[in-house]
Amino acid sequence: MTARPLNRRRRAAAGIVGLALAATACGTGGSTASEGEADADASLPAGCEDYADYAGSSGTEVSMYTSIRDIEADRYVQSFEEFEKCTGITINYEGSGEFEAQLNVKVQGGNAPDIAFIPQPGLLQRFVQAGKVMEVPEGTAENVEEFWSEAWKEYGSVDGKLYAAPMGANVKSYVWYSPSQFEEAGYEVPTTLDELMALSDEIAGSGKKPWCAGIESGDATGWPATDWVEDMMLRTAGAETYDQWVNHEIPFNDDAVVEAVDAVGAILKNEKYVNAGFGDVRSIATTSFQDAGTPILEGECFLHRQASFYANQWPEGTTVAEDGDVFAFYLPSESEDSKPVLGGGEFVAAFADRPEVQKVQTYLSSDEYANTKAEIGDWISANTGLDVANVKNPIDQLSVETLQDESAEFRFDGSDLMPAAVGAGSFWNGMTEWINGAETKQVLDGIEESWPSS
């Protein structure tokens, strides 16, 4: 259905450009696959040998819809340039802040994009169950098999079938700090949770507050606190219980969850620990997450737990490096042996199965693309084919190392896996209330009740 306008344009474009018209254009049915490929190869411009697998769809267009915009969107567009030049496939990139709601409308309205980057496996699952998402083509499946860990593959699958290859990734289990400040005061980067608490006590003992935090984020206020809880869940209860919790196999107000939230409370609700540079515990709820870490630069705050993407939030001129103004360390677990990693990422779902769409899908899941995109900067992937040497800035290098660490156990951000009513609703609100003084048990009971019954 959506193919119609494209087909027409495709013919027109092929006619104008005069590219191997007979074989590549509208597929009249007579030409065999081998003929098509041979001709297509011949039409590849020089220097495009790497793209031979994706040839044969010159003059076609693929629409792409994502939640990523601004400078990061520019970088995506830039990363497609060579692919577009070589294969003749035009990628129309569109990023929107209303991605989640709009994608739904577009799909319902028969106007679905060819490809969407879906950051929530839960949302992907909904579209798959509605029968809208195409299964990945063979080439993509092979790439995912080769380059991604079992956990990542699982998050892109529904009922054992792979529907979306993973794309970008970020690591959430980080604590931001100022290396120079640590050095001056003689603090060591902690390697266990106990050491972290001991360090917090030490800083608090020196008359300063160690932690700064902020969970305000417009209509998504509360999400940074849910990340805290998820990270603690992985540490106090373990990955298996975490999975059960996310899939609602144990209730939301289970004792394990209460324990994890209280462990967060030992930091976020401790008047001696927070909220450095802003005020008391309640100020966490009114501090925007974008600003929450800035007291570190002024020496007022020592520790700030936030994802790797927080690197872009520092004011211009801040050096993010191990020997720079700020850097991050891995939020330690209870012992040095276990290394649970909380993270997020996007998945490439296709709503059409035209050959050019499948070619783009396969290209995006390849290691070549991961390296091309990483070289442009500020982007990482859990693709194991990604060479750390191609990653420019230190925080991204650290993230890639964390993601590729054999001993690390990756888990996806739980609130993106839960039903939207909880993961993008009551969980956020509940944590905001909790910061504002509500009791742990009472808050978790409320969230449990809001879990959709079907």
Partner 1 sequence: MTTAAAPVSSQSGAAVAPPAAVPMSGRVKKKLTSRFATVTAVVIAVLWTVPTAGLFISSFRPANDIRANGWWNFFTDPAVTLDNYSEVLFSTSAGSGQLAGYFLNSVVITVPTVLFALALAAFAAYAIAWIPFRGASWVFIGIFALQIVPLQMALVPLLRLFSEGVSIGETNIIPAPELIGAQRFATVWFAHVCFSLPIGIFLLHNFISELPGELMEAARMDGASHSRIFRQIVLPLIGPALASFAIFQFLWVWNDLLVALIFAGGNPQVAPLTVRLAELAGTRGEEFQRLTSGAFISIVVPVIIFLALQRYFVRGLLAGGLKG
CB of 441 to partner 1, least distance (A): 32
- Whole-number Å distance between alpha carbons of 206 and 279: 18
| Mask for 292-331, x = binds partner 1 (CB under 8 A) | --x--------------x--xx-xx---------------
Asked if 243 and 450 count as a contact pair (C-beta separation under 8 A), the reply is no
| Mask for 375-394, x = binds partner 1 (CB under 8 A) | --------------------
Q: Is cis: bond before 275, omega within 30 of 0?
A: yes
Q: Helices 223-236 and 255-268 sit at what angle, rounded to 10 degrees? A: 120
Indicate whether 71 belongs to the interface with partner 1 (CB under 8 A). yes
Asked if 175 and 304 count as a contact pair (C-beta separation under 8 A), the reply is yes
Residue partners of 280: CB distance under 8 A and separation at least 6: 271, 274
Indicate whether 15 belongs to the interface with partner 1 (CB under 8 A). no
Question: Site for partner 1 (CB under 8 A): which residue of 74, 184, 255, 271?
Answer: 74
Nearer residue to partner 1 within complex by CB, 70 or 146: 70
Nearer residue to partner 1 within complex by CB, 172 or 339: 172
Indicate whether 132 belongs to the interface with partner 1 (CB under 8 A). no
Asked if 296 and 212 count as a contact pair (C-beta separation under 8 A), the reply is yes
Indicate whether 9 belongs to the interface with partner 1 (CB under 8 A). yes
Indicate whether 108 belongs to the interface with partner 1 (CB under 8 A). yes
Indicate whether 64 belongs to the interface with partner 1 (CB under 8 A). no
Task: Give the residue from 353, 357, 445 showing the smallest Cα distance to 135.
Answer: 353
Asked if 303 and 175 count as a contact pair (C-beta separation under 8 A), the reply is yes
CA angle in degrees (0–180, nearest 5) for 194-198-199: 115
Asked if 116 and 351 count as a contact pair (C-beta separation under 8 A), the reply is yes
Indicate whether 2 belongs to the interface with partner 1 (CB under 8 A). yes
Indicate whether 217 belongs to the interface with partner 1 (CB under 8 A). yes
Indicate whether 47 belongs to the interface with partner 1 (CB under 8 A). no
Asked if 225 and 435 count as a contact pair (C-beta separation under 8 A), the reply is yes
Nearer residue to partner 1 within complex by CB, 271 or 298: 298
Nearer residue to partner 1 within complex by CB, 168 or 423: 168
Question: Site for partner 1 (CB under 8 A): which residue of 37, 41, 53, 94?
Answer: 94
Indicate whether 131 belongs to the interface with partner 1 (CB under 8 A). no
Nearer residue to partner 1 within complex by CB, 192 or 217: 217
Indicate whether 218 belongs to the interface with partner 1 (CB under 8 A). yes
Which string of DSSP letters, residue by residue, matches 352-390? ---HHHHHHHHHHTSHHHHHHHHHHSS--B--TT--GGG
Indicate whether 102 belongs to the interface with partner 1 (CB under 8 A). yes
| Mask for 275-294, x = binds partner 1 (CB under 8 A) | -------------x-xx--x
Q: Max CA-CA distance within the chain?
A: 81
Indicate whether 68 belongs to the interface with partner 1 (CB under 8 A). yes
Nearer residue to partner 1 within complex by CB, 103 or 246: 103
Nearer residue to partner 1 within complex by CB, 215 or 408: 215
Question: Site for partner 1 (CB under 8 A): which residue of 17, 38, 42, 105?
Answer: 105
Question: Site for partner 1 (CB under 8 A): which residue of 50, 53, 72, 409?
Answer: 72
Indicate whether 18 belongs to the interface with partner 1 (CB under 8 A). no
Q: CA-CA distances (angstroms) from residue 131 to 63, 112, 163?
A: 20, 13, 11
Question: Site for partner 1 (CB under 8 A): which residue of 1, 16, 33, 46?
Answer: 1
Asked if 353 and 131 count as a contact pair (C-beta separation under 8 A), the reply is no
Taken in order 133, 134, 140, 142, the sign of the CA dihedral is positive
Nearer residue to partner 1 within complex by CB, 8 or 85: 8
Task: Write b or e for each residue in 77-107: b if 16 or more Cβ atoms lie within 10 A of its Cβ, otherwise e.
Answer: eebbeebeebbbbbbebebbeebeebbeebb
Per rule CB under 8 A, count of chain residues that contact partner 1: 39
CB of 310 to partner 1, least distance (A): 9
Residue partners of 391: CB distance under 8 A and separation at least 6: 374, 380, 397, 400
Residue numbers of the site for partner 1 (CB under 8 A)?
A: 1-2, 4-5, 8-9, 67-74, 77, 92, 94-98, 102, 105-106, 108-111, 217-218, 288, 290-291, 294, 309, 312-313, 315-316
